[in-house]
């Protein structure tokens, strides 16, 4: 209950405080390339319940038809504004809407695509999906260079499934086991430092 209250306060406060930035970003996306402002995609939430995540669109509108689900390195489908947003992690800000709706938390394991969740080992799956997924978590902070790493792989999809995903999944499970207000504040602080450009990238 306390975590949900913090989430609500953070989501409402964040949306109000950041509303000028969100509106300017939406305008920039519409002027930069045709298509919707938001990118919505099905992810797996708490207890395996599917939901549609919100992000600012950073790729051309028909990107899913032009390439793989994974975004690897200098992907040609990324727009000019999208590249700027991705570098600063600002494309994730609309997920405050998902926090407000109760589909996500501010801090929690990042929600994955159903096809990747289907490959979770049963023991880890139960631990990770026991909590609401989040906008940020220790696993995502530990893999800031994921796109560049996958770009260097001979088979990015295989590298993700066999190497990157198991590491992230273990970190996510460890977070879920030990989650507390103190750990969440620590993750939030590191995430804010990253957004402000003072954290390790």
Give the three-class secondary structure for 171. helix
pLDDT computed for residue 201 by the predictor: 41
Write out the H or E segment, with its range, that includes residue 107: strand 105-107
Distance (Å, rounded) from C-alpha 120 to C-alpha 161? 10
Distance (Å, rounded) from C-alpha 53 to C-alpha 194? 22
pLDDT computed for residue 200 by the predictor: 43
Distance (Å, rounded) from C-alpha 180 to C-alpha 178? 6
pLDDT computed for residue 68 by the predictor: 81
Cβ–Cβ < 8 Å for 40, 50: no
Residues paired with 52 in a beta bridge:
42
pLDDT computed for residue 195 by the predictor: 79
Could you write out the DSSP letters of every residue in 31-65? HHSSS-SEEEEEEE-GGG-EEEEEEE--B-TTHHH
Write out the H or E segment, with its range, that includes residue 197: none
- Domains of the chain, by residue range, sit at 2-195
> pLDDT below 70 — which residues of the chain?
198-201
Model confidence pLDDT, tens digit, residues 143-172 = 888 888 888 899 999 999 999 999 999 999
Give this prediction's pTM. Answer: 0.90
57-65's contacts with Cβ under 8 Å and 24+ in sequence apart are 57/29, 57/82, 58/82, 58/83, 58/85, 58/86, 58/91, 60/33, 60/35, 61/33, 61/34, 61/35, 61/36
Give the three-class secondary structure for 75. coil
Residues paired with 53 in a beta bridge:
41
């Amino acid at each position: 209950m306390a975590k949900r209250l913090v989430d609500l306060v953070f989501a409402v406060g964040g949306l109000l405080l950041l509303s000028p930035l969100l509106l300017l970003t939406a305008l920039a996306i519409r002027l930069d390339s045709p298509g919707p402002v938001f990118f919505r995609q099905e992810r797996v939430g708490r207890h395996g319940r599917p939901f549609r995540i919100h992000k600012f669109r950073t790729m051309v509108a028909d990107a899913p038809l032009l390439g793989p689900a994974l975004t690897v390195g200098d992907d040609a489908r990324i727009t000019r504004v999208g590249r700027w947003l991705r570098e600063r992690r600002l494309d994730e800000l609309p997920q405050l809407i998902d926090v407000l709706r109760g589909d996500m938390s501010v801090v929690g394991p990042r929600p994955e695509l159903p096809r990747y969740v289907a490959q979770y080992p049963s023991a880890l799956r139960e631990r990770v999906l026991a909590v609401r997924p989040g906008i940020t978590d220790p696993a995502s902070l530990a893999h800031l260079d994921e796109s560049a790493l996958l770009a260097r792989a001979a088979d990015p999809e295989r590298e993700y499934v066999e190497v990157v995903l198991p590491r992230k999944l273990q970190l996510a499970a460890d977070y879920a086991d030990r989650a507390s207000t103190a750990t969440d504040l620590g993750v939030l602080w590191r995430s804010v430092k990253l957004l402000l450009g003072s954290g390790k990238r």
